[in-house]
């Protein structure tokens, strides 16, 4: 099963009560660059990616930390997979297999 890890050039920054992912190698002067904001679940996912980890481990972490009793585990997994895919396309996360 695949494992994912975050790009070490991307750092998490907290401004007031919001979290942002910042590419430290980007100067943000050209179009097409953005600074994604994270909610609490996004932050847990990001924190989980400090070391190579499987999506199933991230799902377990979310189930442990949040009241998701009204959401099926398969739905949570699908959402995490979609988010990881987005972060992978942005090159914020790498698939390390």
Q: What gap in Å lies between CA 16 and CA 2, rounded to an integer?
A: 35
Per-residue pLDDT of 42-97, as tens digits, reads 999 999 999 999 999 999 999 999 999 999 999 999 999 999 999 999 899 999 97
Tell me how crowded residue 6 is: count the other CB atoms within 10 A of its CB: 22
Gap between the Cα atoms of 14 and 85, Å rounded = 23
pTM score of the predicted model: 0.88
Return the half-sphere exposure (C-beta side, CA atoms, 13 A cut-off) of residue 15: 8
Edge-to-edge, what's the strand order for the sheet holding 18-23?
A: 10-15, 18-23, 37-38
């Amino acid at each position: 099963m695949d494992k994912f890890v975050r790009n070490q050039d991307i750092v998490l920054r907290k401004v007031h009560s919001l979290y942002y992912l910042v590419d430290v190698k980007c100067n943000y002067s050209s179009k097409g660059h953005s600074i994604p904001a994270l909610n609490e679940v996004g932050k847990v996912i990001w924190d989980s990616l400090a070391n190579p980890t499987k999506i199933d481990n991230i799902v377990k972490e979310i189930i442990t930390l949040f009241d998701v009793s009204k959401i099926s585990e398969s739905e949570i997994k699908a959402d995490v997979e979609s988010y990881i895919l987005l972060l992978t396309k942005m090159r914020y996360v790498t698939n390390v297999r």
